[in-house]
Amino acid sequence: MVVGSGQGLVNVMHAAEVPIVLGAQSLTPVWLETVLKTYTEWIHPASAFTIVAPLLFGVGKRTTAVHLLLVAGISDLTNLLLKWTIAGDRPYWVDDRVRQFPMTCEAGYGMPSGHVQAFTTVTYFLLMRWAASRSVMFIHTLFVLTGAFSRVYTGAHFPTQTIAGWAVGATFGIGGHHVLSSTRA
């Protein structure tokens, strides 16, 4: 076992989650690994700025794109500040049995998950903006759960870190929509 760099109750909790990460890694079929690694890259926080917003601009949804950039930028900054404040270790810092992947060689703290937070912020913002149906929201939930699982499987995060990322992201996505709803695109 490797001792993590962070301190406090949050890292005691994370140490208790190591068996969940190890279980996810050992019980997931080999064929699914490529899918999970690709998905974890697809939900990268930079996607809001490099893919989604330019696409919205391209299809004439300029106000939506600007609002999304504002909400995603504030959410991303908040993620950084929370990571520095909470200082939650990553699974591969806590236990050397956790398999680490090249795309998850993260140097910063892991609480909350930036990937899950960014994906949730962007998608909730857009789904609220476009008044998505319940069935679309259900499908969205499956995508969020897949993203969270991919982050646990790749050893980048503990389950609680992905849950925290979802909670913060949902707050920014839904809250950002409500704050900016008077100037809909």
Structure pTM?
A: 0.85
Mean pLDDT, the chain cut into blocks of 10 residues (185 residues total): 54 83 90 86 82 88 90 94 88 88 77 91 89 85 90 91 95 90 63
Residue written as token pair 């490797």? 2
Give the phi and the psi of residue 109 in degrees, each rounded to 5: -65, 165
What is the pLDDT at residue 117?
95
Residue in 7, 21, 1 with CA at minimum distance from that of residue 162: 21
What is the pLDDT at residue 3?
42
3-state secondary structure of 8: coil
Give the C-alpha separation, 65 to 63, whole Å. 5
What is the pLDDT at residue 7?
58
Residue in 154, 141, 126 with CA at minimum distance from that of residue 40: 154
- Catalytic residue set: 115, 157
What is the pLDDT at residue 4?
45
